[in-house]
Chain A
Amino acid sequence: MKQKFARSALWGVLAAIAVSSTANAANYDLSVDYVTIDTGEMKTTGIGYNGSSPGPTLRLKEGEEAVIKVTNNLDEATSIHWHGLILPYQMDGVPEISFPGIAPGETFTYRIPVSQSGTYWFHSHSGFQEPDGAYGSIIIEPKKREPFKFDREYVVVLKDKHPHSGARILRNLKMMPDYYNRNQRTLGDFISDVSENGFGATLSERGDWGSMRMMPTDIEDVQGFVGLINGKSPEQNWTGLFKANERVRLRFINASAMTYFDVRIPGLEMTVVQADGNNVQPVKVDEFRISVAETYDVIVQPTADKPYAIMAESMGRSGYAFGSLSPQEGLKAEMPARRMDAPLLTMADMGMDHGNMPGMDHSSMSSGNENSMAGMDHSNMAGMDHSQMAMSKDDPFYAAGSGLTPKAANGGKFLSYADLKAQKPLYPERPATREIELRLTGNMERYTWSINGVKYEDAEPIRLKYGERVRFKFVNETMMSHPMHLHGMWSILDTGNGKWDPVKHTININPGMTVYSETEVDEPGQWAFHCHLSYHMASGMFRKVIVEGGPAVAALENGVQ
């Protein structure tokens, strides 16, 4: 025991020496505190950092060693996970996997060699502290100038603040999975469907839903929240100031427990320049959907001297967040009308609908249009079939006929994963060395969520080998979207764009869809891999990943045991 301690202390000293000779250290302090969260309508006790929820924005610099001292002022254990940061696994902040956690009254020092840049966030990985308010943002300044220019910037953190604590929400969901679903179909709906579709069709459709243990309104299983922007409710109106014609960079982070948001700024086009901290080739959109845990950086250029609304409606339309971009303090943007057409899941989202879209081969759609372009005969382009172009505009990341397929409020461009192309590919292209299938599974009636039908507690870890390139095949067999987050290593999302495939930390998989991502296994240690919806993660849609081997096998064996 003593010897082990001495050895790890020696390792610590060696590490400190190595670090001080290669990088500048920068010190940050965070305290984890009980805080009051006041949305104007409700005051709740939650958890925050440095006395507030959300916590502060940490500004790190690429190339430095960030030394972050975290002091736990709670009467329960805590942890901080640096979402999207590439770091030694002992610094990743997942209790039981990276480290034992931070006991009440204790201070833990994170040492992070900052090797990347962009927009990220941090949150507790203990219990339901994150839904209860334990989150903050991270900006990492790049060493080199960025491939875009802006005059000012704001972090825009979205959050679904619920009046109930996370623990209470999960208890209620376990007891009654539709506890928070206010939008159930009624006898009235049944009668109107019968008059539209006939009795037999309606009855058989209801039967299909029943056997799935799901309802078409199961898009947001936790409703009744207030959408926050940087901790402010719509009424409290978070405001970012600008001068007309300035380029404003907005760093959107979805720190929600359960809620996807459709974000737009009526009157302004948004140029998406970064996704999950990695620069993408700029793409102009009118609206985008941000899954839980994702980040998107956009640049807007308001030309008029008037306030603009930042409107973030939840995917299921049960709630919204709102704020203003304004030329002066106190000038509130006019809130755009909310879209009340709550989407309904369809048979396509059940993965059952193969018959009603004649002539469309969806399997080839989802693999992207690169192949069909390559095979195109360029010599007779004059005779090009433009209908083909229109078809490729359907978002290939939603099942054809899905009730979730988004449409821009102004009829314009809605961002698709297919639009995301790496600005500078991080890894050279190479074929994957093997494929691992992960079926996303669950039983809504019992509120259990799993991977390949097995809950976390009962599952073996996923074992990867250092140096291999793994292709993950996500097959979503449930009727909810799942944002899958692999810790510690990048996920290269297969959008069919070859070398331009974007690199992300969180990959959303919609119902009825199969999505692929590849990972260069380049970080030794053990990592978490899970659905980032808080209550799905807590109910079993979670795996431990062990990376075997590595350049520093010996060091690892001498490290945390």
Chain B
Amino acid sequence: MPNFKNSLMRRVSVSTFILGALVGLQSPAFAGAGHSGGHNDGASEIGAPGEISDVRRTIRITMEDNFYDKEKIIVRGGETVRFVIENKGEFVHEFNIGTAAMHAGHQEEMMMMMEHGALEADKINMDMMEMDMGNGMTMKHDDPNSVLLEPGKSAEVIWTFPKDAELEYACNVPGHYESGMVGKVRLQ
């Protein structure tokens, strides 16, 4: 019984999670690379969630252990891109658009998630992600500029890039960025 409940909950939470990411896309508010409730800094410099109607191009990105199939992407300044992200690896991976500094900050948060058991190498414990950290913040990962995916999962991100910025897409799961799971966004 508890097992059943657990796995059901997990399935429900994972879909809520992906839904959350999609809902996030529609919402006018946006956050930085951090978690819900914090980090509005840098939002304008990295761009904003885009509208599906503005999308002219889809970029598919495959995540493996521990790398992206693309080491850089080239987009026009102001372009809205639909990213289809697929995790083909055996570990949890993230696709997150931000500056190097934002990623560095996010890596510390991800480390904390791992230490608290909310994030394991190959799974996300959604019930723990949604837990109140005591200051109204949760570890829930629902920022529109990122998706965190368990093995085998896919998701979309629609993003409007700014005219000019130094951006990277990165996986901030502990150790992955340092191992090279990061790509450059070349804005033209």
Measured CB to CB, the residues of A under 8 A from B are 145, 147-150, 247, 269, 271, 273, 281-284, 299, 301, 373, 376, 378-379, 381-382, 384, 389, 421, 423-424, 500
Give the residues in chain A near B180, CB-CB below 8 Å.
148-150, 247, 299
Contact of B117 among A148, A271, A301, A373 (CB under 8 A): A373
B174 contacts the other chain (CB 8 A): yes
Total A-B residue contacts, Cβ distance less than 8 Å = 61
B72 contacts the other chain (CB 8 A): no
B132 contacts the other chain (CB 8 A): yes
Chain A to chain B: the 10 pairs with minimum beta-carbon distance, closest first: A149-B180, A282-B175, A148-B179, A271-B178, A282-B179, A147-B66, A147-B65, A381-B131, A148-B180, A283-B175
Closest-by-CB residue of B relative to A383 is B134
CA of A247 to CA of B182 in the docked complex: distance in angstroms? 12
- If A147-B179, A284-B175 touch, whether A378 touches B66 (CB-CB below 8 Å) is no
9 residue pairs from A and B, CB less than 8 Å apart: A147-B67, A271-B178, A282-B179, A299-B179, A373-B117, A381-B116, A382-B131, A382-B133, A424-B65
Contact mask B107-128 → A, CB, 8 Å, 1/0? Answer: 0000000011100010001011
Contact of A500 among B121, B127, B134 (CB under 8 A): B121
A384/B116 in contact, CB under 8 A:
yes
Contact of A148 among B66, B127, B128 (CB under 8 A): B66
CA of A402 to CA of B107 in the docked complex: distance in angstroms? 32
CA of A424 to CA of B91 in the docked complex: distance in angstroms? 10
How many residues belonging to B are interface residues under a CB distance threshold of 8 Å?
Answer: 24
B176 contacts the other chain (CB 8 A): yes
CA of A281 to CA of B121 in the docked complex: distance in angstroms? 8
CA of A379 to CA of B125 in the docked complex: distance in angstroms? 12
- If A282-B66, A389-B115, A500-B121 touch, whether A301 touches B178 (CB-CB below 8 Å) is yes
Give the residues in chain B near A271, CB-CB below 8 Å.
175, 178-179
B178/A378 in contact, CB under 8 A:
no
CA of A148 to CA of B178 in the docked complex: distance in angstroms? 8
Contact of A382 among B115, B134, B176 (CB under 8 A): B134
CA of A500 to CA of B176 in the docked complex: distance in angstroms? 17
CA of A421 to CA of B66 in the docked complex: distance in angstroms? 14
Contact of A149 among B67, B115, B127, B132 (CB under 8 A): B67
- If A150-B180, A500-B121 touch, whether A378 touches B174 (CB-CB below 8 Å) is no
CA of A195 to CA of B134 in the docked complex: distance in angstroms? 49
Give the residues in chain A near B65, CB-CB below 8 Å.
147, 423-424
CA of A271 to CA of B174 in the docked complex: distance in angstroms? 10
B45 contacts the other chain (CB 8 A): no
Contact mask B52-83 → A, CB, 8 Å, 1/0? Answer: 00000000000011110000000000000000
Q: Which of A247, A373, A376, A423 has the most CB of B within 10 A?
A: A423
Closest-by-CB residue of B relative to A380 is B131
Contact of B125 among A148, A299, A378, A389 (CB under 8 A): A378
CA of A145 to CA of B69 in the docked complex: distance in angstroms? 11
Give the residues in chain B near A269, CB-CB below 8 Å.
178
Give the residues in chain A near B174, CB-CB below 8 Å.
282-284
Measured CB to CB, the residues of B under 8 A from A are 64-67, 90-91, 115-117, 121, 125, 127-128, 131-134, 174-176, 178-181
Give the residues in chain B near A150, CB-CB below 8 Å.
180
Closest-by-CB residue of A relative to B111 is A284
Closest-by-CB residue of A relative to B134 is A382
Nearest chain A CB to B89 CB, angstrom units: 9
Nearest chain A CB to B123 CB, angstrom units: 12
A378/B175 in contact, CB under 8 A:
no
Q: Which of A148, A283, A373, A379 has the most CB of B within 10 A?
A: A148
Nearest chain B CB to A255 CB, angstrom units: 26
CA of A442 to CA of B175 in the docked complex: distance in angstroms? 41
Nearest chain B CB to A344 CB, angstrom units: 32
- If A373-B117, A378-B117, A382-B131 touch, whether A284 touches B178 (CB-CB below 8 Å) is yes
Closest-by-CB residue of A relative to B90 is A424
Give the residues in chain A near B64, CB-CB below 8 Å.
147
CA of A402 to CA of B125 in the docked complex: distance in angstroms? 36
B179/A378 in contact, CB under 8 A:
no
Seed contacts A147-B179, A282-B174; 8 additional CB < 8 Å A-B pairs: A148-B67, A269-B178, A282-B175, A283-B174, A301-B178, A378-B125, A384-B116, A423-B65
Nearest chain A CB to B95 CB, angstrom units: 17
- If A284-B174, A382-B131 touch, whether A145 touches B66 (CB-CB below 8 Å) is no
CA of A84 to CA of B67 in the docked complex: distance in angstroms? 27
CA of A247 to CA of B179 in the docked complex: distance in angstroms? 9
Closest-by-CB residue of A relative to B178 is A271
CA of A282 to CA of B181 in the docked complex: distance in angstroms? 11
CA of A24 to CA of B91 in the docked complex: distance in angstroms? 33
Q: Which of B64, B116, B128, B178 has the most CB of A within 10 A?
A: B178
CA of A219 to CA of B127 in the docked complex: distance in angstroms? 48
Give the residues in chain A near B175, CB-CB below 8 Å.
271, 273, 281-284
Give the residues in chain A near B116, CB-CB below 8 Å.
381, 384
Give the residues in chain A near B125, CB-CB below 8 Å.
378
CA of A424 to CA of B132 in the docked complex: distance in angstroms? 33
A282/B178 in contact, CB under 8 A:
yes
Give the residues in chain A near B128, CB-CB below 8 Å.
378, 381
Give the residues in chain B near A378, CB-CB below 8 Å.
117, 125, 127-128
CA of A121 to CA of B175 in the docked complex: distance in angstroms? 26
Give the residues in chain A near B131, CB-CB below 8 Å.
381-382
Give the residues in chain A near B91, CB-CB below 8 Å.
281
B121/A149 in contact, CB under 8 A:
no
Closest-by-CB residue of A relative to B91 is A281
Closest-by-CB residue of A relative to B65 is A147
CA of A148 to CA of B127 in the docked complex: distance in angstroms? 31
Give the residues in chain B near A281, CB-CB below 8 Å.
91, 121, 175
A376/B117 in contact, CB under 8 A:
yes
Nearest chain A CB to B171 CB, angstrom units: 11
Give the residues in chain B near A299, CB-CB below 8 Å.
178-180
Closest-by-CB residue of A relative to B121 is A281
Nearest chain A CB to B84 CB, angstrom units: 22
Give the residues in chain B near A421, CB-CB below 8 Å.
121
